[in-house]
Amino acid sequence: MSAIEIRQATVEDSGLILRFVTELAIYEKAENEVIATVADIKNSLFGPDSATQAVICNLNNEPIGFAVYFFNYSTWLGKHGLYLEDLYVSPEYRSVGAGKALLKHLASIALSKNCGRFEWSVLDWNEPAIQFYQSIGAKPQDEWVGYRLTGNALEEFANS
């Protein structure tokens, strides 16, 4: 019988996390946007000032996926929330329940930390993920439009 295990990531997982990030970017048709290095993952995810955490999903002691998350805050609820930045399961393991196990694990963390929300974003073309999220009771938040400042635009605005 196969056993799915979710464990907290450690600094030794930095290369594995970068591999999963790259695989996710390939799936999202954005491979060339990944500029992070193993050193970047080590410093940003496991450094002393990190506010971000990661978990690794293993099947029979083999890593098959990961999730990266952090805590945000809702002024309306007066509570923290858990924000899922990335969730990825290698394609050959997408039918074994790993994605659901990762989400349940994170939902449990959110409850244990008294979070009022558990949120994430999904690309509008990723129909398999959308159907999966809706099957577990998640609802799209289509009244909000995400905005992002990055790269030169971020620098120019901050320095203007």
Q: Alpha carbon 67 to chain centroid distance? A: 4
Q: Is 133 a catalytic residue?
A: yes
Active-site residue, from 73, 93, 133, 147: 133
Three-class DSSP category at 148: coil
- Return the C-alpha torsion angle 45, 49, 52, 56, nearest 10: 40
Q: Which helix H or strand E contains 72, and what residues bound it?
A: strand 62-74
Q: Which amino acid is at 61?
A: N
Q: Structure tokens of 138?
A: 């998640």
Residues with catalytic function: 133
